[in-house]
């Protein structure tokens, strides 16, 4: 008799535990889907930010930003910086400065 009572109580506990886990697993899965969506969105945005930044750096590298180039007659030509409004001094001259001679 005691074995039957013990088995009944064990099965009752297992059944209640199973019901509890099923209810909370559904809620957990819904939260997990939202977290996955947030994670994917954040990853895409971060990837775009990194790609744009690296592209900007490469374009400025190719255009010679910060470098001075010598021409055949000895003049210096400053490399162009693209999308850098804070750069106002390049190649020994102020950007936008006119000298009045060739």
pLDDT for residue 97: 56
Q: Is 90 helix (H, G, I), strand (E, B) or coil?
A: strand
**pLDDT one-digit tens code per residue, 25-75:** 655 556 677 888 888 899 999 999 999 999 999 998 988 887 877 888 878
Average pLDDT, the chain: 76
Q: Supply 85's token pair.
A: 């409004």
Find out whether 77 and 71 touch, Cβ atoms under 8 Å. yes
Q: Is 72 helix (H, G, I), strand (E, B) or coil?
A: coil
Ranges of each domain in the chain: 1-63, 64-96
């Amino acid at each position: 008799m005691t074995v039957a009572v013990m088995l009944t109580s064990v099965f009752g506990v297992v059944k209640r535990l199973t019901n509890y886990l099923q209810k909370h697993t559904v809620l957990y899965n819904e939260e997990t889907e939202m977290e996955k969506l947030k994670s994917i969105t954040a990853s895409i945005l971060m990837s775009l930010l990194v790609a744009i930044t690296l592209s900007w750096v490469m374009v400025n590298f190719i255009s010679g930003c910060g470098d001075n180039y010598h021409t055949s007659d000895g003049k210096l030509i400053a490399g162009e910086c693209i999308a850098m409004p804070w750069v106002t001094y390049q190649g020994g001259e102020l950007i936008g400065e006119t000298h009045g001679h060739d």
